[in-house]
Chain A
Amino acid sequence: MTKHEVLLDAQDIRKTFGNGVKAVDGVSLQVHRGETVGLVGESGCGKSTTAKMLLRLLTPDEGSITFAGADVHRVRGRKLRELRKQLQVVPQNPQTSLNPRLTVRQSIEFNLRAHAYPKREWAARVDGLLDRVGLAQRHGAAFPHEMSGGQLQRAAIARALATEPSLVVCDEAVSALDKSVQAQVLNLLAELQRELGVAYLFISHDLSVVEHISDRVVVMYLGKVVEEGPSHAMWSAPSHPYATTLLSASPGQGRTRIILRGDPPNPADPPPGCAFHTRCPVAEDRCRTAVPLLRTVGDRHNSACHLVSVDRPAAMAATV
């Protein structure tokens, strides 16, 4: 396995719900082996819908998703089981994602059983996993209600890692945790990646967390990718006006805050042209009619804005 091998490849996926909401409107993204991709955006931008399609929990209306060469939504039988083994998830709320009537050990064993690990190995594997995520052996016998939020999230991580996955989707996995505990879990995720080579798709609305953990970042707005690029390049020089304002708006970044007017538009009735033009401080006439496509603004750095190009990578100054 090589580091640069594409593990997960989503091409132009779309999902429109029955109520007309275009939750995901042509998203392409790749996750390479062993890397962390951050997926950022505000509520309603389609990041969780995207995650659900990647995890085969929702079927895309259009587009293709391949994981390690297999079509995620076509595979059946043994190959599907292998896919699920390789592709695990750590959800946001461990209180509701762990079965309240199973002990932590039973929850982890459940995953081992589902993937046909021989029963005689279970005990040793669970012991090893508890140890690996920093839980004491006694926590294996505990029920979810007996544990703190941080411990529960460790248990959820242990359960996800039980099947030795190559990609773990972390959907707001640290958002519900207190900051003092959040740091522990972020460190744990980073350590596990170094040891096991697991890749993460890290979905969060918290920019400081994404900035910290990701190699590459994908920013979504109203069902579309508006910017993607290497983490360091994006944070030091964001290109798309939305990414720029999003960064400036997150408190404590030491950046001058750019205050956007209004709310995100209704995804059932997106504005014509660039979906961001209704709130964009630098929108021009063409933004109101023509949909901007992703274009290259730097090394592996793309931005969907009419105003940017390789020669002019940023649509607006980071401070206004």
Chain B
Amino acid sequence: MSQTVQEIPARVASAEALRVDDLAVSFAVHGGQVHAVRSVSFHVRAGQTLVLLGESGSGKSVTARAIMRLHGRRAKVTGRVELSGREVLALSDPDVRALRGSRIALVPQDPTAALDPLRRVGAQITEVLLLHRAAPDKKAAQARTRELLRAVGIPDPERAYRSFPHEMSGGMRQRVVIAMGISCDPDVIIADEPTTALDVTVQAQILDLFAELQGRLNTALLMVTHDVHVAADVADLVAVMYAGRIVETGPAADVLKTPRHPYTQALLDALPTPQTARGELHAIAGSPPVAGQEFPGCAFADRCTHALDTCRTAEPRLVEVAPGRRAACPVLNPTEAP
């Protein structure tokens, strides 16, 4: 997929579809606030894929949900989320509802939970089109639904149209949810672990479908995953998250090849590869932080082999370490004293 990365500059000229500035999400729990996401900033252009890469509890899904204002009432969200020039966090609830599904769409991890089990698949997609007035009348919406089912590679769209979700395989259901996502030609698609529940051969099909659709529709794609390989496969840009923060970001090919943050390095080193067969893996000591854990300094310091004393007291800032690349580690990326 490295080829896709090469092709991107042709499209980069297009506009910023999504801009997130200093996003913070905290949840009120008995006895205080749990800071799930802190000072997260990034932007995605039309036709680009940004992958939020992180392990469980890193805040990647919370970030994705906050962008769509799906974070629930207990969450406190600050910062700015700009979707095609509109400030999402300042919109009224009805305005956000109008945006969801039409300008910004979500492809969730579990398509089974996302689809209504009691209604036929075709009717569920048609409903989205009619709700957002993406089709003039019911007949047009139905015709468009059939087109969409074909566009996402469902072999027998007519049959799928009349099927209930339980009559389809996991891969087919994921295609249906993707069809629903692209139905109103959104500016941004957020895909939260869209292939994690699928078998590898089906995962390959779905990743391929994302690449193909994106090339065709010029949508900005924000994909959330824990899987480095998936990230390497689909991402133009990657933002690595740890303990609620972005610790490193930049072009995926660079970040995943020559990481500049110890966590990214350690994560890549920990993966089994054909070369590690029967050998020792470079495991990361300790466990990932749990939600609500607070760190005076760098959250990764306790597991980091490069950590200095200062890492445990001063919080590292995300600074530019190369053109287009930022990392939050002063030890690996020393700067001249000011």
Contact = CB atoms under 8 A, between A and B. Distances in A.
Interface of A: 42-43, 148-151, 178-184, 186-187, 190, 205, 207-209, 211-213, 215, 231-232, 235, 245-246, 248-253, 257, 259-264
Given A245-B201, A263-B172, 14 more contacts: A179-B267, A180-B283, A183-B270, A183-B271, A184-B283, A186-B283, A190-B278, A212-B277, A213-B278, A251-B207, A251-B232, A253-B229, A257-B208, A261-B155
A249 B171 CA distance: 14
B12 interface: no
B277 A205 contact: no
A180 B283 CA distance: 6
B281 interface: yes
Nearest to A191: B280
Interface string B271-314: 11110111011111101101000000000000100000000000
16 contacts: A42-B200, A148-B290, A178-B55, A179-B226, A179-B270, A180-B303, A181-B287, A183-B272, A183-B281, A183-B283, A209-B272, A212-B273, A235-B274, A249-B201, A263-B172, A263-B202
A187 B283 contact: yes
A187 B226 contact: no
B264 to A, nearest CB: 11
Contact of B205 (A43, A179, A186, A260): A260
Given A180-B55, A180-B270, A209-B272, A259 B283 contact: no
B151 interface: no
A259 B267 CA distance: 28
B271 A208 contact: yes
B277 A181 contact: no
Contacts of B124: none
Contacts of B333: none
A106 to B, nearest CB: 23
B272 A251 contact: no
B336 to A, nearest CB: 32
A182 B269 CA distance: 12
A212 B287 contact: no
A208 B277 contact: no
A178 B226 contact: yes
Contact of B277 (A148, A232, A252): A232
A170 to B, nearest CB: 14
A187 B233 contact: no
B137 interface: no
A231 B277 contact: yes
B288 A178 contact: yes
A207 B204 CA distance: 14
A63 to B, nearest CB: 26
A257 B229 CA distance: 13
Contacts of A249: 200-201, 203-204
A178 B227 CA distance: 9
B199 interface: yes
Nearest to A40: B200
A187 B204 contact: no
Contacts of A252: 228-230, 232-233, 271
A259 B211 CA distance: 13
Nearest to B168: A263
A232 B276 CA distance: 11
A253 B204 CA distance: 12
B155 A251 contact: no
A100 B225 CA distance: 30
Nearest to A178: B55
Given A180-B288, A212-B276, A263 B169 contact: yes
